Amino acid sequence: MTSEAHRAIETVWRIESPRLIGGLVRLVRDVGVAEDLAQDALIAALEQWPESGVPRNPGAWLMSTAKRRAIDQLRHRSLAEKKHEQLGRETDESQRAVEDQLAASIDDEIGDDLLRLLFIACHPVLSIEARVALTLRLLGGLTTTEIARAFLAPEPTIAQRIVRAKRTLAEARVPFETPRAEERAARVSSVLGVIYLVFNEGYSATSGDDWVRPALCDDALRLGRILVGLVPNNPEVHGLVALMELQASRLRARTSPSGEPVLLLDQDRSRWDRLLIGRGLAALGKAETIGGSLGPYALQAAIAACHARALRPEDTDWPRMVALYDALAELTPSPVIELNRAVAISMADGPAAGLEVVETLVDEPALRGYHLLPAVRGDLLVKLGRLEEARGEFERAAFMTQNTRERKLLLDRAAKCA
């Protein structure tokens, strides 16, 4: 196979596989079987396209191939047999009519198919790790190898996680349908949580040798943009997309040419992506326009917008940011939010005021082992001239983090204190 054909097939698969699997799930009522059928279509493409060329409409080719295989399976599976028994004895002609109807149904309600697949992949019956892996596999179009590489996990672990997730969905008899209105809000929250978890792992990697993994951010953004198209009237969906667009705009400036971390206030803001900032601000405006009070994601997007609108760090509207953190802390109380609020307070009212808030979090059980607590405390102590204490905090933070780049940054800051 030529490398050009291989790249074309890979690109088509990333774009078309969610739609393909979504349509097949509606037909066969089984995520595992649907993915197998889609993979069969991909194998057929790998065998035929290098010789015949990439079709004019590759997505339709994959759908047609998968459809034929799905219908062939339905002829032999017990599900098809039961369906035929219920309908009574049929002539070959009427049987063909049923099969044609099933085939045609795959092409209907594409948006509904994707939304249904997203809700299934993020079903609360699955662990959060399983939801992430299954979402990236089914809707992100990533291979098991790519998911394992992205999360620095052994490939067999990810493979087992995906297999168990499919088995769990089958054993729990999860309905293959879009949840009813009364369930949808809770399920949308699960979907948003999964997407943002993927984005955060790309934006600030928890372990490994890279400070950022832009490919994961791209995957999360793609999923978020799909969700906006499927649930256009939910302000929190727009809020999450706004938050990711605004944070992703800083990716180029978050590392030095050698890959070393660059902290927010030290970044070259001319390297921030103005197109992504514009998209993020527009999405935030949409969240605000839809109505109602802002939810957690929209509030975080509004905080990110304060940075995005400031051409220099000193132009940042810190008092507004503190007010936004106050609203966020009231809506979803969390020690992590309180720590971020302390940073905003330190910028608005001075390091002593910020440190006062941080000191209330030192014995917080939820932050035990959270490296950013001593990192923030060390930063505030430096600003107050308490260098020896700051050095100890930076060293403690460096010991806690699993990210190689971040550990070096923290140890360098500790050394400067000496």
CA 402/CA 209 separation, integer angstroms: 9
Tell me the average confidence (pLDDT) per consecutive run of 10 residues in the chain, 418 residues long: 68 77 81 85 82 80 82 65 51 45 44 79 90 86 80 86 92 80 78 89 82 87 88 93 97 92 94 97 96 90 97 95 97 94 97 97 91 97 97 96 92 95
Q: What is the pLDDT of residue 15?
A: 74
CA 407/CA 405 separation, integer angstroms: 5
Residues linked to residue 207 through DSSP beta bridges, in sequence order: 402
Contact 158, 136 (CB under 8 A): no
Domains of the chain in start order, with CATH, are 3-107 (no CATH), 345-418 (1.25.40)
Contact 26, 120 (CB under 8 A): no
Contact 190, 123 (CB under 8 A): yes
Q: Give the CA angle between residues 332, 367, 299 to the nearest 5°.
A: 25
Contact 282, 230 (CB under 8 A): no
Q: What's CA 314's distance to the chain center, in Å?
A: 32
Q: What is the pLDDT of residue 105?
A: 44
In angstroms, the first-to-last Cα distance of the chain is: 59
Structure tokens at 218: 């791209």
What is the three-class DSSP state of 102? helix
- Exposure on the CB side of residue 150, measured as CA atoms within 13 A: 27
